Amino acid sequence: MAVDTLNAPAVLSEHRFPCTNCGSDLRYAPGTDQLTCDHCGQSENIEDADIWAGSALKELDFNQAVNEALPDEEMEETRVLSCTNCGAQVEFDADSHAAECPFCATPYVTDTGAHRHIKPRGLLPFLLREDEARQEMNAWLGALWFAPGGLKKFARAGRRMQGIYVPFWTYDADTKTTYSGQRGTVYYETRTRRVTVNGRSQTRQHRVQKVRWRGVSGRVARFFDDVLVLGASSLPKDYTDALAPWDLSSMEPYRPEYLAGFRAEGYTVPLEVGYEEARDYMDRMIVRDVKFDIGGDRQQISDMNTSVSGVTFKHILLPVWVAAYKYRGKTFRFVVNGRTGAVRGERPFSIWKIGLAVIAGLLVAGAVGYFIAMNQGNIRFETSF
């Protein structure tokens, strides 16, 4: 059954690249095609990065994957650590036994296990460094009204942000839809009615809007390319949606060097479930196409029949900087698009700040009311003279 293979949570294989100068681990330098050593400063080029840059990414057949008929080279088996609180499946070093979840700041100890999953086909490398991502997050926090000042200070002085490659599915599909419905054309009729004005009966004319409906039928077609669906549930979907748009045209074929020094989250949303979400999006777009094709001033759709063919997919990784802070017993999470700097996070409120703002508003309103009353009193006094 497809569930055994495709629905298994997974993370990427561990990839380490030792520095040729000192032997320490190299890290991918965001925005470059280089690996750098934090220990000695040595830099090394990612081999063949220019050759692979911009290469077309291979699509995989959806039905073949569902039927567990993908070639072995498209699959891999890895070990995984799981968050006991939010369920995130995140890659950690092989010798790690205890860690803190980057998504919810929950400390946990968990066993690892082997998981078989579909390899990623492509990724968007990080463009923003950690300090740049933190700057964007602090600017976002600073612009929030009524946010607790303590949280802002805590975040600015907090520990390092985590660079995470978050899993997504992309779906392609060719659709053809036949429909029947009605096209409405708005027109107006002039009608006469009698009204009473100052005790006298008068005749008035007014326009009444009407709609003339006409039966129509037709056919629309649309090819969907890279419908994007989040492949994990560790972050709220509205968070990741707020990080869009992603420049998928800049996506690179998957290379483990881009993951050096970063972590990768494994997909936990099954391929079939992701496709259902993609189909919901496709259906909404098809309804819009049908209404446009019907034309007129109003549209009614009586029936639609959509055929879908050539469904393909990719497992891809997108870069997100994540910060999770426990402040006064509550976890606050912030995510930053690793390429554009778009920020989304928890919306904390300070009860004290809200209370002070309400009091200040009442004082201002009282002062304005008093000033108006005094002016009105002056006017009455001068008038009586």
Asked whether 324 and 286 are in contact (CB, 8 A), the reply is: no
Query: Which tokens belong to 145?
Result: 């009204």
Q: What is the pLDDT of residue 378?
A: 52
Helix, strand, or coil (residue 137): helix
Task: For 58-71, write each residue's pLDDT tens digit.
Answer: 899 999 999 999 99
Which amino acid is located at 118 in the chain?
I
Task: For 371-383, write each residue's pLDDT tens digit.
Answer: 565 665 554 444 3
pLDDT band at 10 (very low <50, low <70, confident <90, very high): very low
Query: What number is the average pLDDT over the span 75-93?
Result: 71
pLDDT band at 53 (very low <50, low <70, confident <90, very high): low
Q: What is the pLDDT of residue 206?
A: 84
pLDDT: is 328 or 71 the higher one? 71
Q: How buried is 158 (Cβ within 10 angstroms: 0-12 exposed, 13-18 middle, 19+ buried)?
A: middle
Q: What is the pLDDT of residue 146?
A: 46
Helix, strand, or coil (residue 272): helix
Query: Which DSSP state fits 269?
Result: S
- Range in 45-49, 90-94, 297-301 with the lowest mean pLDDT: 90-94
Q: What is the pLDDT of residue 312?
A: 98
Length of the chain: 385
The angle that helices 149-156 and 130-142 make with each other, rounded to 10 degrees, is 170
The single residue listed with the structure tokens 């390092």 is 160
Q: What is the pLDDT of residue 230?
A: 96
Domain ranges of the chain: 2-169+229-268+313-349, 181-215, 354-385
- For residues 104 and 235, what is the distance between their CA atoms, to the nearest angstrom? 9
- For residues 148 and 325, what is the distance between their CA atoms, to the nearest angstrom? 13
pLDDT of 54 higher than 80: no
Question: How confident is the prediction for the chain on average, in pLDDT?
Answer: 80
pLDDT: is 164 or 10 the higher one? 164
Task: For 204-253, write each residue's pLDDT tens digit.
Answer: 888 899 999 999 999 999 999 999 999 998 888 888 899 999 999 999 99
Q: What is the pLDDT of residue 116?
A: 79
Our separate counts of H helices and E strands in the chain read 8, 17
Beta bridge partners of 175: 222, 308
Task: For 282-293, write each residue's pLDDT tens digit.
Answer: 999 999 999 999
Q: What is the pLDDT of residue 38?
A: 86
Helix, strand, or coil (residue 376): helix
Query: Which tokens belong to 302?
Result: 């009586």
Asked whether 70 and 60 are in contact (CB, 8 A), the reply is: yes
Phi first, then psi, for residue 133 (nearest 5°) are -65, -40
pLDDT of 323 higher than 50: yes
Query: Which tokens belong to 376?
Result: 């009105």
pLDDT of 276 higher than 50: yes
- For residues 74 and 92, what is the distance between their CA atoms, to the nearest angstrom? 22
Half-sphere exposure of residue 152: CA atoms within 13 angstroms, side-chain side = 16
Asked whether 57 and 121 are in contact (CB, 8 A), the reply is: yes
- For residues 212 and 256, what is the distance between their CA atoms, to the nearest angstrom? 62
